[in-house]
Structure 1
Amino acid sequence: MNKEKIACDVKRWAKIIRNDPQGDLYPNFLFFMTFYPEFRNLCYYRMGKFGGFFNVFCRQMDTLFLATPEIGPGLFIQHGFSTIVAAKSIGANCWINQQVTIGYSNETDCPTLEDNVTVCAGAKVIGKATVGENSKIGANAVVVKDVPPNVTVVGIPARIVRRDGIRRDEPL
């Protein structure tokens, strides 16, 4: 079981949801387990085989699928409705919105998300793409190529519209 990662998740969720910069562990943990099915899915995922036991008391969200071998601490899933996360790995402090698909293009090729990546509603990250740290994937964007660090990408196919805070218009 990943107690340290769950504690980091609680602190991150507390900062975002409850505006609690200290992230007091125990009251927030019970609050999130009770009222946030996205947090429950993540917590049960981190608990591994022990998560199924707690599912009897607090049900998982049926439309949120986590199938990633390595998820860093502090993952925040804002709305887990119709969301599939099947990446090679996800870094620390990432943010994923609803109706996102992060997944395989064939049996072996799946994406990697580095630290502090935000994936907005409806975005698709498919295949052997690496999304660099501090990058943002805009709503409904389709990413099939590597995304450099510190950029914002939008569109179908995705293109860079912001690099290091400066507006751009570059292909990936």
Structure 2
Amino acid sequence: MNGFLRSVCRDLHRYAHFEQTRPSFAFAVRMLLLTQGFQFVLARRIQDLIVRIPVAGRPLRRVWWWWTCRRFGAEIAIGATVGDGLYIPHPYGIVVGVCTIGEDVAILQNVTIGARGPEAPSQAVIGRGSYLSAGSVLVGAITLGEGAVIGANAVVLTNVPARATAVGIPARIITRG
């Protein structure tokens, strides 16, 4: 439970950072009741908590995951590892396959992270502080370095170094950090 609360608090701080405000009780209530992006991230945190229930945890997690996918029209795979401070302002059309998402990552609407094909490895690694713009697609076993920025509608097929910006189809590095 302690890890759950830590994750939720870090997520709230991340939302406050992007809204340029201070986290407060009123802010937390607003996020909980009115912000679908935060609700989606919270649903993922609850999913990670449910699996800890002895015996019934795994099937309950699967049901919760299914309900979350239906409710938000977005999906983060059950096998994905998600770091604290996840920021998803608009949880629409997001499909995240099995991957590792670092801390303080921002994912905008219509982002896809997945495999290149049914036989190809799909374990993408998204580094801490990365920013995935709207409509970006990451396919294959790629690694985004810490603080990488992926431009809108970019298709990333290769690794992106730390603090670099990648844009285009296929994505190419335009700036290095």
TM-score by length of 2: 0.80
Q: Give per-residue Cα distances to partners, 1:32-70, cap 9 Å, x unaligned.
A: 1111112111111111238878xx9xx974312111532
Q: Is the 8 A contact 1:92 1:115 kept in 2?
A: yes
Whether 2:56 is the aligned partner of 1:66: answer no
Identity of aligned residues (%): 29
Counterpart residue type for residue 27 of structure 1: A
Q: Choose between structure 1 and 2: higher strand proportion.
A: 1
Deviation at 1:163, TM superposition (A): 0.9
SS at match of 2:84: coil
Residues 96/129 of structure 1: CA separation in 2 closer, same or farther (3 Å cut): same
Whether 2:175 is the aligned partner of 1:162: answer yes
Q: Is the 8 A contact 2:154 2:167 kept in 1?
A: yes
CA RMSD after TM alignment: 2.4
Report the counterpart of residue 110 of structure 2 in structure 1. Answer: 99
CA distance in 2, matches of 1:16, 1:39: 12
Q: Give per-residue Cα distances to partners, 1:79-122, cap 9 Å, x unaligned.
A: 21111122421111111111110112235423110101000011
Whether 2:125 is the aligned partner of 1:109: answer no
CA distance in 1, matches of 2:36, 2:151: 24
How many pairs align? 158
Report the counterpart of residue 166 of structure 2 in structure 1. Answer: 153
CA distance in 1, matches of 2:88, 2:143: 20
CA distance in 1, matches of 2:141, 2:8: 28
CA distance in 2, matches of 1:159, 1:69: 26
Report the counterpart of residue 44 of structure 1 in structure 2. Answer: 43
Report the counterpart of residue 15 of structure 1 in structure 2. Answer: 17
Residues 40/60 of structure 1: CA separation in 2 closer, same or farther (3 Å cut): farther
- Runs of 5+ consecutive residues of structure 2 not aligned to the other structure: 51-59
CA distance in 2, matches of 1:60, 1:32: 20
The residue correspondences of 1:28-43 to structure 2 (distance < 5 A) are 28-43=27-42
CA distance in 2, matches of 1:76, 1:60: 20
Q: Is the 8 A contact 2:106 2:132 kept in 1?
A: yes
CA distance in 1, matches of 2:35, 2:97: 21
TM-score by length of 1: 0.82
